[in-house]
A and B are shown apart, each in its own frame.
Chain A
Amino acid sequence: MTPMTDRSGTGLHAVLVTAFLSTTAFAADPGVTHYSVDPAKSSLEFSFVQAGAQNKGKFTKFPVALDISPDGGAATRLDVTVDMTTYDSGDKDRDDTLRGPDLFSVAKFPQAHFTATQITKTATGFDAVGKLTIRGVSRDQHVPFTFRAANEQGHAVGYLTGKTTLHRLDFGVGQGEWKSTEWVGNDVTVSYNVRLVPAAP
């Protein structure tokens, strides 16, 4: 889908095209595929220790924007918004408590947001570093992920997976009695398994 794949031109022509692309990549983005989330086949889950046992929850609505080169070699944009009201742990009482003012406070802070400021290639995939904002508090956060492009019945799709750990109290998730980590741990493991489909930039 890029001019790079056209090998019929002269060597000089190819060099010129390459030079042209490298200087205009960010302006015109001909070498970037834009992806957005396929909500039906994606998951964003987290787990935390409550009274010695791993408890799980998930969000069901979380728009994702990923820009990555067609060869999967360079990612330039990762932007995730989490609709905090869609939190679901499978238990209404617990969900209501978590959405309440002392924890997620979804009435005041309906969204969490991550935007990468730098995405570097690692041995296994990528490491996105950027600002994560939860409950109105922004912190630097690493979001490591692997990306795999696939072709499914003629449709180009991508899979982004990974997990990261954050500390809930860094974001003020836990006011009043919930500031204590005796019964609900500070560490929260967030795992993401996202199916991406091409999108308009």
Chain B
Amino acid sequence: MTIRNTTLRWGSVAQTLHWLIVTLLIVQVVLASLADDLPLGMKKLAMLARHKSVGITILGLAVLRLLWRWLNPTPELPDTLKPYERVLANLTHAALYLLLFAMPLSGWVMSSARGFPVSWFGFIQLPDLVPKNKPLYDAMLETHETLAWTLGAVVFLHVAAALKHHFMLKDNVLRRMLPFTKTR
């Protein structure tokens, strides 16, 4: 596996970013549901502080990922794809990238609007994106949740497609995003 992408395979940087973000997204779901069940208190503060820090990390990684994508060739979709499948795949990927930005940004706006500023693991305090604003907080909370469910749905589509390519179509689409595997 090369560091950079080729037209056939994702390189190690793109793969690392992909799987790191997958892991952090799972962490986010766990932290969010733990925080959700807690009353306002020290434990909830701690969960939400971690959730925000991880969210900002994902935002940073998403920026790196897009930059890296622009600087590299993108592995091509298989020729066997029908035109509508091609469109669907591109839409799904575009939605995933969009959501990787929209999720943390809506969370950041939400924190600012409620007057609970965001810190990245206690190292850096991020500036407030908006002044304190209760109606905006309420709207952003809705938005953040809706986006989370949307992301869940798009991820489901993405995973289902990857598995279909791997087990039914038996092509390299999943394989080329996996380390330690040879493409056929």
* Chain A contacts to B: CB under 8 angstroms: 50-56, 89-91, 93-94, 97, 177-178, 180, 182-184
Contact = CB atoms under 8 A, between A and B. Distances in A.
B45 A51 contact: yes
B115 A90 contact: yes
Contacts of A53: 116-119, 125-126
Given A52-B125, A177-B41, A177-B43, A183 B49 contact: yes
Given A52-B121, A89-B115, 4 more contacts: A51-B49, A53-B126, A184-B42, A184-B45
B18 interface: no
Contacts of B48: 51
B114 interface: yes
A97 to B, nearest CB: 5
A184 B52 CA distance: 16
Contacts of A55: 115-117
A54 B42 contact: no
Given A91-B114, A91-B115, A52 B40 contact: no
B83 interface: no
A79 B30 CA distance: 50
Contacts of A182: 46
A130 to B, nearest CB: 32
A97 B46 CA distance: 15
Contacts of A50: 45, 116
B180 interface: no
Interface in B32-70: 40-43, 45-46, 48-49, 52
A185 to B, nearest CB: 10
B117 A54 contact: yes
Output the residue of B42, B116, B117, B123 with the most chain A CB within 10 A. Answer: B42
B109 to A, nearest CB: 15
Closest 5 CB pairs of A and B: A52-B119, A52-B122, A51-B49, A53-B117, A53-B119
Nearest to A102: B41
Given A52-B49, A52-B121, A90-B132, A180 B42 contact: yes
A178 B126 CA distance: 24
A52 B115 contact: no
B113 to A, nearest CB: 10
Nearest to B52: A51
13 contacts: A50-B45, A50-B116, A51-B45, A51-B46, A51-B119, A52-B122, A53-B116, A90-B115, A91-B116, A97-B40, A182-B46, A183-B42, A184-B45
Output the residue of A55, A56, A91 with the most chain B CB within 10 A: A91
Given A51-B49, A52-B125, A178 B42 contact: yes
Nearest to B49: A51
A3 to B, nearest CB: 52
A94 to B, nearest CB: 7
A89 B124 CA distance: 22
Contacts of B41: 97, 177
Nearest to B115: A90
B126 to A, nearest CB: 8
Contacts of B116: 50, 53, 55, 91, 94
B139 to A, nearest CB: 16
B122 A51 contact: yes
B134 to A, nearest CB: 8
A178 to B, nearest CB: 6
Contacts of A51: 45-46, 48-49, 52, 119, 122
